Structure 1
Amino acid sequence: MIMAQQDDDIADESAASVDVDDVLDAVDEPSIPSPPPTTQPPPPSQDLPSTSQ
């Protein structure tokens, strides 16, 4: 029983270290940069005669 618990702990620790390595590998690997957010162009100005004059 006690040995089985220790084995589980060792397995958990190795799994945690693998997760950290995967994260570091993902950071080191070049990835396709996400495209910049598209900004909407300003609405075209309408040349309407001003009626306030």
Structure 2
Amino acid sequence: MLRWTITFLIIAIIAAIFGFGGIAGAAAGIAEILFYVFLVLFVVSLIFGRKPKV
């Protein structure tokens, strides 16, 4: 998921350089949403992934 975030961030930067404001804004928004989803899933996996073996 972090790979998709970086991909959309790079697309946003390239689109901004070439002057495509709408595409850059949309790609940056998608990258931001994916980053927050990644953070939530990472924290959840840290909390629930550490269970002692019985």
**Residue matched to 1:30:** 50
SS at match of 1:19: helix
Which 5+ residue runs of structure 1 have no aligned equivalent?
Answer: 33-53
Higher helix share: 2
Q: Percent identity?
A: 16
What TM-score, normalized by structure 1, do the two folds share?
Answer: 0.54
- Structure having greater relative contact order (Cα 8 Å, sep ≥ 6): 2
User: Greater Rg, structure 1 or structure 2?
Assistant: 1
**How many residues in Structure 1 have an aligned counterpart in Structure 2?**
32
What TM-score, normalized by structure 2, do the two folds share?
Answer: 0.53
Q: Distance in 1 between matches of 2:50 and 2:22?
A: 44
For residues 4-50 of structure 1, give each alpha carbon's deviation from its aligned partner in whole angstroms, at most 9, with x where no partner exists.
Answer: 10100000000000000001000112268xxxxxxxxxxxxxxxxxx
Matched, 1:11 2:31: yes
SS at match of 1:27: helix
Partner AA of 1:16 in structure 2 = Y
Which 5+ residue runs of structure 2 have no aligned equivalent?
Answer: 1-20
